[in-house]
Amino acid sequence: MTKRIALITGANKGIGLETARQLAQAGHRVIVTARQLDAARQAVAALTAEGLEAEALALDIADSASIAAAAADIGHRHGRLDVLVNNAGIMRDAPDRTPSQQSLAAWRETFDTNLFGAIELTDALLPLLKQSDAGRIVNVSSLLGSMATHIDPNSPFYHVKIPAYNISKTALNAWTIHLAYELRGTAIKVNAANPGFVKTDLHGMDAPMSPAEGARTSVQLATLPSDGPTGSFFHEGAVLPW
């Protein structure tokens, strides 16, 4: 039986690497991507040392040429893709500035990776996902992208205003809804995942969850059965408010 093929962006460390590990443990052949090929290769070496099937691929989702090259490579070697986990993300907000004081450069760099990079990569890989009998697209978002959370004064995140990052995730959530609508009636399911507050370079080491715990929601959504949901926002099986 041919193994399912899964590509994870930003998979050389943190949640991305743990997502790759757990999908490989579940029987997938994982494509570990990173902006630098050496970083992807180091992650693959760690996975293969555990007896897992993995391959390395250089991919910068803020670079159109890199996206096109990656899509061509996967198409040539595999002819299809079963799972795409849009995990790569950045945070460029200045913590000492209010929303209106953030630089336009920070807004643009954040959206280029967190939203436009995810969109461009997904569009490039969609023909390969359509060759799968059970395609799964997981957009790694954040509860900080929930508008309902930000307008609720009783929410623990009400005062956590990291504008460019938060709003890029809000936009990613909205795109999840639109893409799921486009692909309704097909074998492809599209959902957004909130990993939780995880120990990573992005969130810091004081967070309560481990990267392995943070990967669980993405893995659950990447392995949904045929009657599973599409067009929703989840954290460990619970539906979150947009």
Catalytic residues: 165
Per the CB < 8 A criterion, the answer to whether 120 and 168 are in contact is no
The beta-carbon contacts of 159-163 under 8 Å, at least 24 apart in sequence, are: 161/98, 161/99, 162/91, 162/93, 162/95, 163/93, 163/99, 163/102, 163/107
Token code pair at residue 176: 């999840």
For 138, the enclosing helix (H) or strand (E) is: strand 136-140
Q: Angle at which helices 37-49 and 14-25 pack, to 10 degrees? A: 40
For 147, the enclosing helix (H) or strand (E) is: helix 147-150
Pairing of strands 83-86, 136-140: parallel
Burial label for 237, CB within 10 Å (0-12, 13-18, 19+), is: exposed
Give the span between the Cα atoms of 22 and 30, in whole angstroms.
10
